[in-house]
Amino acid sequence: MVEFRFILEKGSKRFTCPNCGKQEYKRYIDTLTGEYLPKMYGRCNREEKCGYHLNPYKDGYKPEKTPLFAPLVNETIQEQEKLQENIYIPPEALKNLQKTSYFDKCTFIKVLQGLYGYEKTLKAVLLYRLGATPGGAVCFPFIDTEGQITAIQEKIFNERLHTDKSAPYHTTWTHARLLNELKRQRINPPDWLEKYQKQEKKVRALFGAHLLSKYPNTPVALVEAPKTAIVGALEFGFPDEPGGCVWVAAGAKSWLRKEILKPLAGRTVVVYPDASEGGATWQEWKEKLKAYEKDLEGVKISVSELLENIPDEDKKAGVDLADYLLKDRFKEKEETKTEVRQIAEIIKFFGTVQLPDKEITLTPGVVITDLRLFVKSHIELLRASRITKATTPAAERLLKVKEKLETIKSNQHGRSLANKNFRPGTLGVS
What's the pLDDT score for residue 59? 79
pLDDT of 304 reads 92
On average, the pLDDT of the chain sits at: 85
- Residue 83: pLDDT band (50, 70, 90) is very low
> pLDDT of 53-63, one tens digit each?
888 888 788 88
- Ordered alpha helix ranges (H), 239-320: 258-261, 280-293, 312-317
| Highest mean pLDDT pick, 9-13, 83-87, 338-342, 415-419 | 9-13
Q: What are the structural domain ranges in the chain? A: 1-83, 86-205, 340-419
Q: How far apart (Å, rounded) are the C-alpha atoms in residues 285 and 226? A: 17
Cα angle value 93/97/98 (rounded, 5°): 120
Q: Is the pLDDT of residue 90 over 90?
A: yes
Whether the per-residue pLDDT at 73 is higher than 60: the answer is no
Q: Chain centroid to CA 308: how far? A: 20
- Predicted confidence (pLDDT) at residue 45 exceeds the cutoff of 50: yes
Q: How high is the pLDDT of residue 308?
A: 85
Residues 340-354, mean pLDDT to the nearest whole number? 81
Q: Which of 47, 260, 245, 295 is nearest to 143 (CA)?
A: 260
Contacts of 198 (CB under 8 A, 6+ apart): 83
pLDDT of 288: 92
In this structure, of 37-46, 84-93, 187-196, 264-273, the range with the lowest mean pLDDT score is 84-93
Query: Which residue did the predictor score with more confidence, 139 or 84?
Result: 139
Instruction: For residue 429, name the pLDDT band (cuts at 50, 70, 90).
Output: very low
Q: Per-residue pLDDT tens for 363-416?
A: 888 888 888 898 888 888 877 765 555 566 888 888 888 888 888 777 765 555
pTM of the model: 0.66
Q: Is the pLDDT reported for residue 322 higher than 50? A: yes
DSSP SS3 for 219: coil
Contact partners, residue 44, CB within 8 Å, separation at least 6: 17, 19, 20, 22, 24, 25, 26, 50, 51, 52, 53
Q: What is the pLDDT of residues 178-215, one digit of tens each?
A: 999 999 999 999 999 999 988 878 999 999 999 999 99
Q: What Å distances lie between residue 312 and 239, 277, 325, 367, CA to CA?
A: 33, 7, 17, 54
- pLDDT range class, residue 78, cuts 50, 70, 90: low
pLDDT digit string (tens) for 323-344? Answer: 888 988 878 766 666 667 777 8
Amino acid at 244: G
Tens digit of each residue's pLDDT (9 = 90 or more) over 107-137 = 999 999 999 999 999 999 999 999 999 999 9
Residue 197 has, within 13 A of its CA and on its CB side, a CA count of 13
- pLDDT at residue 385 in the model: 63
* pLDDT higher at 274 or 414: 274
**Quick one: pLDDT at residue 428?**
37
What is the pLDDT, as a whole number, of residue 306?
A: 86
pLDDT of residue 66: 59
**What is the C-alpha separation between 49 and 260, in angstroms, rounded?**
19
